[in-house]
Amino acid sequence: MTTWMLSLLGGVLIGLSATLLMWLNGRIAGISGIVHGLVSEPHNDSLWRIAFLLGLMIAGGITMRLGDLGTHSRQDFPVLTLVIAGLLVGVGTRMGGGCTSGHGVCGLGRLSLRSLAAVVTFVATAMATVFIFRHVFGVLP
């Protein structure tokens, strides 16, 4: 299969996952919301979150190893940048109430204008960030 077919197939699987979780459990498959909910929501609400994340990490990790897709990961990407990026993603998704999956896959699927505004905003600032750090300063790969 060509790369774009795999991308499309992977996207369809993600969409089916979100549909399944909504149809069966009535929950939004938003990864940031599921993660943040583990530390902020009542504990009787934690188990399904843990189950979803376990499934994501076990199946994703195995697929990565089987397909040899993780072994050629980037070398020498600056650690400080990873930490700052992680902090910004944590703060931003908590503040904005969602990430690529919650606002993107699920919010757009519900035809939510709020999610559309979020998606347009984060794609725009992400593209601007890449432009600035890659092409203006030339400091990040």
Site for other proteins in 120-139 (CB under 8 A): 121-131, 133-135
In the DSSP assignment, the letter for residue 33 is H
Binding string to other proteins for residues 87 to 106, with x set by CB under 8 A, is what? xxxxxxxxxxx-xxx-xxxx
Q: What's the closest the beta carbon of residue 81 comes to other proteins, in angstroms?
A: 6
Q: What's the closest the beta carbon of residue 110 comes to other proteins, in angstroms?
A: 6
**Alpha carbon separation from 109 to 15, 22, 84, 95, 105 (Å, rounded):** 9, 11, 31, 21, 6
98 vs 86: CA distance, rounded Å: 15
Q: What's the closest the beta carbon of residue 43 comes to other proteins, in angstroms?
A: 14
Q: What's the closest the beta carbon of residue 95 comes to other proteins, in angstroms?
A: 3
Distance of alpha carbon 39 from the chain centroid = 18
Tell me, by CB under 8 A, how many residues bind other proteins. Answer: 106
Note whether 113 binds other proteins by CB under 8 A.
Answer: yes
For tokens 């909504």, name the residue: 22
**Alpha carbon separation from 45 to 26, 32, 92, 107 (Å, rounded):** 13, 15, 23, 21
For tokens 């600035």, name the residue: 132
Q: Which residues contact 7 (CB under 8 A, 6 or more apart)?
A: none
User: Within positions 18 to 37, which residues make up the interface with other proteins, using CB under 8 A?
Assistant: 18-29, 31-32, 35-36
Q: What's the closest the beta carbon of residue 45 comes to other proteins, in angstroms?
A: 9
User: Within positions 45 to 74, which residues make up the interface with other proteins, using CB under 8 A?
Assistant: 47-49, 51-61, 63-65, 67, 69-70, 73-74
By beta-carbon proximity to other proteins, the closer residue of 43 and 135 is: 135
